[in-house]
Structure 1
Amino acid sequence: MTVTTKQVKELRELTGAGILDCKKALEASGGDLEKAKQYLKQRGLAIAAKKKGREAREGLIEAYIHAGSRIGAMVELNCETDFVARTDEFKALAHDIAMQVVAFNPLYIKPEDIPAEVIEQKKAEIRAEYEGSGKPPEVIEKIVENRLEKFYQEVCLLRQPFIKDENTTVEDVITQAIAKLGENVVVRRFVRFELGEPIAR
């Protein structure tokens, strides 16, 4: 079928993908907008999977201070080249992640960063809640697993709902950025400040 300029423009506005990618997606999906969006998403995930793991040492440090100057954050976001680090898309992503840190107060970047003793303590707390409940051990372990996943969503930056779209996660947003920018993108570290909070010694 013939894909119109209007269809390409509409898909591009919805996804932010390039003109040629939108045209290919619409052709592959017979002009169906929803199918074209899924096509682009799957293609983006495949591209991102290939990029992840590549060394990323360029990038920038972004700071965000919330209105009232009582809470702020700094984030180091890495990519592979200085060229990508200077793009508006990369800068906007770094800014959004700094805002995310201020708003959601994550403690870790990903679940793998959580110390084993913290996870074991959390598991013990959850199991203790169901002690004497009469539930079979395998059911309790399933509950522990589900509750741990919720815990990760609360304390791990990449698992949190994205500040600008709660239907997607920060990790998904970074994956989309990798596909769009053509380079690996990594949150290296972050720090959050709140006026009057105790100073760790």
Structure 2
Amino acid sequence: MYTPVAADVAKLRNTTGAGMMDCKKALTEAEGDFEKAIEILRKKGQKVAANRADRESTEGAVIAKVNADQTAGVIIALNCETDFVAKNDNFVALAHDLAELALGKTKEEFLASDYKGITVAEKLTEQTGVIGEKIEVGSFETIEGPFVGAYIHAGNKIAAITSLSANVDGSEEAAKAVSMQVAAMNPIALDETQVSQDIIEKELDIERDLLTKEGKPANIIDNILKGKMQRYYKDNTLVHQAFIKDGGMSVADYVKSVNGDLKVVGYVRVSLT
């Protein structure tokens, strides 16, 4: 029977990320054929993936990446089943690699992309077999703009990217600061014009019902509701929120303080919490 040498086992481990014993077994079964051993490990991954297809993968690492000229960004969530795996250095490193590869692509293009000789989709299946947990890409958000900047919160559970209207002095710091705001405060929209009508109607119904129960006259309820909605927009839309680093100004005011013509034009946020 073929007995694998240590150098071959180490090479297979570095290539696939599989455990030492799995690599030894694969090489033994393949009688030393390296490519066949890789295929054996991949088939094992497919089997494990099929067995865990109905499992929930609610843990993971959320990673944001921005391209070199800072005009486009992407956030991906590499999901797994347990926090133990999510905190593993190799898992986080893989998430960073995949997020970098995702720049400029749709999710479908990304999953079909080459990652060290196999597709991303195949790599996810392979890692499911290696780790023994369901591994998949969950959230996938992209953004473009004149200038984009990102923020990943400690622990890799939340990430945000903000798009600004121009690339000017201070844009990088401003984009990161606003992305921190997005991560921390989770606004529902950029401003009042982007709040969905369903949300507006729901808030109006709630407030109207409360005012009616308080005995407010019907002829003044509409005026009161206007004030209530202005407060709602201030609390829940990004540009109107109080800036977390200086509550004396709004996010829009902060960005304008960096450059008088600068504005926030978009954002994306992904969270596992």
The equivalent residue for 1:35 is 36
The equivalent residue for 1:16 is 17
| Bigger mean CA deviation after superposition, 89-98 or 73-82 | 89-98
The equivalent residue for 1:118 is none
Q: CA deviation at 1:191?
A: 1.3
Would the alpha carbon gap of residues 76 and 29 (structure 1) be closer, same or farther in structure 2, given more than 3 Å must change?
A: closer
* Offset from partner CA, 1:94-147 (integer Å, 9 cap, x none): 22332233232x0xx4xxxxxxxxxxxxxxxxxxxxxxxxxxxxxxxxxxxxxx
Report 1:63-142 matches (<5 A).
63-104=64-105, 106=106, 109=107
Q: CA deviation at 1:89?
A: 2.4
The equivalent residue for 1:188 is 138
**Which of 108, 112, 124 pairs up with 1:160?**
112
* Offset from partner CA, 1:125-174 (integer Å, 9 cap, x none): xxxxxxxxxxxxxxxxxxxxxxxxxxxxxxx2564223x44x53221111
- Which secondary structure state, in structure 1, belongs to the residue aligned with residue 68 of structure 2? coil
Would the alpha carbon gap of residues 100 and 9 (structure 1) be closer, same or farther in structure 2, given more than 3 Å must change?
A: closer
The equivalent residue for 1:172 is 122
* Offset from partner CA, 1:27-62 (integer Å, 9 cap, x none): 212222232222212112112221222011111321
Q: Work out whether residues 157 and 170 of structure 1, in 8 Å CA contact, stay in contact via their aligned partners in 2.
A: no
2:65 and 2:90 map into 1 onto residues whose CA distance is 17
The equivalent residue for 1:3 is 4
Q: Work out whether residues 74 and 190 of structure 1, in 8 Å CA contact, stay in contact via their aligned partners in 2.
A: yes
Unaligned ranges ≥5, structure 2: 147-162, 166-189, 195-273
> Aligned AA for 1:168?
I
C-alpha RMSD of the superposition: 2.5
| Bigger mean CA deviation after superposition, 188-197 or 50-59 | 188-197
> Aligned AA for 1:181?
I
Higher-Rg structure is 2
2:15 and 2:110 map into 1 onto residues whose CA distance is 23
- Which secondary structure state, in structure 1, belongs to the residue aligned with residue 42 of structure 2? helix
When normalised by structure 1's length, the TM-score is: 0.64
Q: Work out whether residues 102 and 110 of structure 2, in 8 Å CA contact, stay in contact via their aligned partners in 1.
A: no
Going by fraction, where is helix more abundant, 1 or 2? 1
Going by fraction, where is strand more abundant, 1 or 2? 2
> Aligned AA for 2:137?
V
2:96 and 2:80 map into 1 onto residues whose CA distance is 15
1:102 and 1:6 map into 2 onto residues whose CA distance is 35
- Which secondary structure state, in structure 2, belongs to the residue aligned with residue 103 of structure 1? coil
- Which secondary structure state, in structure 2, belongs to the residue aligned with residue 69 of structure 1? coil
Q: Work out whether residues 45 and 179 of structure 1, in 8 Å CA contact, stay in contact via their aligned partners in 2.
A: yes
Q: Work out whether residues 174 and 185 of structure 1, in 8 Å CA contact, stay in contact via their aligned partners in 2.
A: yes
Question: Alignment identity in percent?
Answer: 37
1:56 and 1:24 map into 2 onto residues whose CA distance is 28
1:4 and 1:65 map into 2 onto residues whose CA distance is 42
